[in-house]
Amino acid sequence: MSYKLGDYVLVLDEDLSGVIKQITGNTISIETEDGFLIDFKSDELVKQQKKQDLKSELFLHSDISDVVSEKETPKRKQQTKKKAKDRYEPTMEVDLHINQLVNSAKGMSNHDMLTLQLDTAKRKLDFAINKRIQKIVFIHGVGEGVLKMELEYLFGRYDNVKYYDANYQKYGLGATEVYIYQNVS
């Protein structure tokens, strides 16, 4: 018989039962109703469905009248509030790792790969400018820093962008965030 964490089991030949908390090979640790953790072999246990009548199972944590009144009164839809931190999160991420851009980099020279990565970055940046997206994160990885340097050169040719290292906690050192000024005349 297969057991999984959270199953309710009875112990054969003993007046014990509990919930499975850990499974290690053929040894199963159960937590008894008294809160003790006890190990048993899997052939010493039998899975047990807790028997409860339908009403108590369906309305375990509430009275039936509460459920009915909840259904009858329409609730106002709550607006989800964005945290300030989330409001300023980039709306677009572009992963420039070569394995994200092509199925196989086999046969490509370093120059070919770098050219493809830069073309992708330029295309995505132009797309963001046209679609009025304010922030993009370009994930370039750490490596030797060649791609990062080339990206900075590319971004420097635009008048309406500024760029800086992306959120370190989220991306580490391998990403650059680009902010696009929308109303440049």
Domain CATH code at residue 140: 3.30.1370.110
Does residue 57 lie in a domain region?
Answer: no
Residues 30, 104: one domain?
no
| DSSP code per residue over 78-137 | PPPPPPHHHHTS-SEEEE--HHHH-S--TT--HHHHHHHHHHHHHHHHHHHHHTT--EEE
Does residue 74 lie in a domain region?
Answer: no
Does residue 55 lie in a domain region?
Answer: no
Does residue 59 lie in a domain region?
Answer: no
The parent domain of residue 135 ranges over: 84-180
Does residue 79 lie in a domain region?
Answer: no
Contact between 91 and 128 (Cβ < 8 Å) = no
Q: What is the pTM of this model?
A: 0.51
According to the model, what pLDDT value does residue 68 have?
Answer: 67
Whole-angstrom Cα Rg for the chain: 29
Residues 42, 110: one domain?
no
According to the model, what pLDDT value does residue 118 have?
Answer: 94
Does residue 102 lie in a domain region?
Answer: yes
CATH of the domain at 28: 2.30.30.30
Does residue 64 lie in a domain region?
Answer: no
Tens-place pLDDT, residues 88-112: 655 789 999 988 899 888 899 999 9
Does residue 153 lie in a domain region?
Answer: yes
Structurally, the chain folds into a number of domains equal to 2
Tens-place pLDDT, residues 45-57: 888 765 554 555 5
Residues 156, 106: one domain?
yes
